[in-house]
Amino acid sequence: MSTKETSLEEIVSLAKRRGFVYPGSEIYGGFAGTFDYGPLGVALKNNVKNLWWKMFVTDREDMYGVDAAILMNPKAWEASGHVSGFNDPMVECKNCKGRFRADHLEDASVCPSCGKKGTLGEARTFNMMFKTKAGATDDESATVYLRPETAGGMFVNFKNIIDSFHPKLPFGMAQIGKAFRNEIAPRDFVFRVREFEQMEVEYFVRPADWEKSFEEWQGTMHAFAEAIGLPKAAVHELEVADGDRAHYSKRTIDFEFDYPFGRKELWGLAYRTDFDLKAHSETSKVDLNYLEDGEKAEDRFTPHVIEPSLGVDRTVLAILASAYTVDELGGEERSYLKLSPSIAPVRVAVFPLLKNKPELVAKAREIYAALKKAGIAAMFDDNGNIGKRYRRQDEIGTPHCVTIDFDTLGENPEHKDTVTLRDRDTGEQERIAISELLPKLGA
């Protein structure tokens, strides 16, 4: 197993080389804080999101999925406090004109870009929301924002869910979608970017029940971390102090992860009280209180909210950092991704022993098609010798490889209709019947 720390450079290199993540707009010199996901990155992200949706939504009876618009009436962001309070402290270097977050500087007297001392100006607030224009006019009345979080779209749909489904408390709304923050200094690969994806739940509860629900979601988040293969020893809880919490939160736990660049926030769990529904009620003049069927009018109240918020990009980075492994196999050092089969972009790779033997290729294609039909993420690979193919699949985290050889075709009657199944982690191979493949792969 690995005896050295995984560096961010190793992860970035593998991610680009194998088609997980590319720098955004790379042929034009890039664009800070943006990244493009390649075929394997898309597959990994989708597997993470699908598993999250299963654990947080479909496995429960109290959840309602939504997909709210990215562009919203700007009054929604005024009500939520983002227009006036979604700020970071920014400083600018008088020498190189670089701009930095003041709270991220190790030495407040030295510019991290040009190294000059005493050139950093006074910190000033910087609103991180992206502004744009909607419609044909170009004045302030046309100003709208790219959403800085997906939560807002759920709060403004609270009444719609109540009217359409009449849910009983507690119940939640869930959404996966893009959010945008004009980060002053994007850094650390996909950890801090300007365009990212969130998996969020707004769970509505009676005020007296918030602590119970908070602890339940806390447990679910730890279960999700385990399901995607994050080591327990690398995931930590930080109780956020009063002065450091968001303006809407009465209690927040940051789930932190030991990234290659240090222990940083991975996810968040917040008790948002009734701040959001009350703020939107006041601004919109629409009643966002709750009254259960059969209760009296005077029993109406504003529900409180528990919010598990998980970033897809930071989750993917944590997965890659956890899975990156270096060991020795067959007397040679190899690096591979020890991905959980539940999220691996490719579940199994299928090889014909030789690409220039039509009968082997035909049989391999037949097995490959059967696996795909069964819903297994399979890849067909006949490029290079078997050893190189194994290494290539190891590096992208494929748990198993299936090789079709002449014994499969009946050259050795005892092995007819069998294949070689190789395990990624151990490198061990076993001969199994084709009919046993699907059960063996967990299909």
Phi-psi region of 382 (alpha: psi -120 to 50; beta: other; left: phi over 0): alpha
Q: What is the C-alpha separation between 200 and 170, in angstroms, rounded?
A: 16
pLDDT at residue number 2:
47
Domain boundaries, the chain: 8-76+133-231+259-321, 87-127, 346-440
> Residue 143 — φ and ψ, nearest 5°?
-70, 130
DSSP structural state of residue 302: P
Residue 337: strand pairing partners? 324
pLDDT at residue number 1:
47
How far are the Cα atoms of 134, 202, 210, 212, 390 from residue 218, in angstroms, in the given order?
A: 39, 14, 12, 10, 39
pLDDT at residue number 443:
62
pLDDT at residue number 125:
74
Asked: is 8-76+133-231+259-321 a CATH 3.90.1150.10 domain? The reply is no
Q: What is the C-alpha separation between 427 and 143, in angstroms, rounded?
A: 58
pLDDT at residue number 6:
87
- Per CATH, which fold does 346-440 belong to? Rossmann fold (3.40.50)
Give the CA count within 13 Å in the CB-facing half-sphere of 31.
10
Residue 265: strand pairing partners? 256
- Residue 69 has a CB neighbour count (10 Å cut-off) of 10
Residue 190 · residue 35 · CB < 8 Å: yes
Query: What tokens were used for 282?
Result: 């006041």
Block means of pLDDT (10 residues each) for the chain, 443 residues, are: 74 96 96 96 98 98 97 94 76 80 76 82 80 85 92 96 96 97 90 96 97 98 97 96 86 97 96 96 95 85 97 98 93 93 97 95 97 96 94 97 96 92 96 95 77
